[in-house]
Amino acid sequence: MSLEKTEAVVLKAFNWSESSRTVIFFSRRFGKLALVDKGGRSFKSKRGRIVGFAVLEITFYSSQKESSGYIRDVDPLETFSFEKEGTMGRLAYGSAACELLNLLLPEEETQIDLYDYFVSFLKCVEAADKRSLPALFLAFFLRCLSHLGYHPSLTHCAGCGRASQADSQADYVQFHPERGGVLCSSCQTVADQYIRLSSACFEQLVNLQSASLTEAAAMPITYADTELLLEALTRFESCQTGVKGELKSLEFLQKLKKTDLT
């Protein structure tokens, strides 16, 4: 076994005994990485503890003969407490980002740019006004899809490639998850099922696709538009990647949207 070290963030953990578990990390050097955390659940463990929403430096044993390596040591580098106003919403959007990456990332494939963007996203979730969180997550969702090769076609028709725009009569665009984006009237068929986006909602989506996290944080968006765009992107992700799985953290947000907790 070789000894490796990398910066990483926890995506998910599975307990398999009273003292041990398997932890899935998004690591800077190795991409998505599943490691066995022997004795890590025990309070008697003498090494650093693994926590969520934190940048960690992990040292682990790697072996080509086994499916998982073993964690040797953990040192926290930066922790995100999400203690500002809207803590529950911050936790939910942070968790949704972890879920999305766990669903989409290939195993042990280096994604340095996406890793750095993910850490920047967590920093923004920690510091931003709670009203900025929906736009921040939508921008993250779009960037994650595009970085992994699933770029939704928004500025041009996914069918014919012509520049897309809101319907001149109805003032909307038709988004088709299975065909990869928006469709012009010439490429639409009666049998297809679309997600209808108003011109204002569509413009927000286009702007978020190219926005930096700082720019996204300055784009207020309503809950109604957030729900519609999340539905569009979630269905797009499912159709284009073939990965089935709901983001449970976003379902949790639905229960919070009428409270002051988000």
Listed by start position, the domains of the chain span 2-79, 87-152+182-256
- What pLDDT does residue 65 have? 66
CB neighbours of 127 closer than 8 A, spacing ≥ 6?
84
Which helix (H) or strand (E) segment is 88 a member of?
helix 87-104
Fold of the 2-79 domain: OB fold (Dihydrolipoamide Acetyltransferase, E2P) (2.40.50)
- What pLDDT does residue 1 have? 74
Strand partners for 6:
58
Q: Which CATH superfamily is domain 87-152+182-256 in?
A: Recombination protein O, C-terminal domain (1.20.1440.120)
- What pLDDT does residue 135 have? 96
For tokens 């659940």, name the residue.
Answer: 41
Strand partners for 12:
24
Long-range contacts of 154-159 (CB under 8 A, 24+ apart): 154/181, 154/182, 154/202, 154/205, 154/206, 154/209, 155/206, 156/181, 157/181, 157/182, 157/183, 157/184, 157/187, 158/182, 158/183, 158/187, 159/183, 159/184, 159/186, 159/187
2-79 and 87-152+182-256 agree in CATH topology: no
32 and 114 Cβ atoms separated by less than 8 Å: no
DSSP state of 120: H
30 and 24 Cβ atoms separated by less than 8 Å: no
Helix (H, G, I), strand (E, B) or coil at 186: helix
122 and 94 Cβ atoms separated by less than 8 Å: yes
- What pLDDT does residue 166 have? 61
d(CA 62, CA 68): 7
69 and 4 Cβ atoms separated by less than 8 Å: yes
Render each residue's pLDDT in the chain as its tens digit; 262 residues.
789 999 999 999 988 777 788 999 999 999 999 999 987 666 666 566 888 999 999 999 987 766 678 899 999 999 999 999 989 999 999 999 999 999 999 998 999 999 999 999 999 999 999 999 999 999 999 999 999 999 999 999 999 998 876 655 568 899 999 999 999 888 988 878 899 999 999 999 999 999 999 999 999 899 889 999 999 999 999 999 988 767 787 777 666 665 554 5
Report CA Rg, the chain.
Answer: 20
Tens-digit pLDDT profile for residues 197-212: 999 999 999 999 999 9
- What pLDDT does residue 249 have? 77
Does the model's pTM come out above 0.85?
yes
14 and 20 Cβ atoms separated by less than 8 Å: no
- Helix, strand, coil shares of the chain as percentages rounded to 5? 40, 25, 35
Length of the chain: 262
Tens-digit pLDDT profile for residues 44-85: 665 668 889 999 999 999 877 666 788 999 999 999 999 999
DSSP state of 12: E
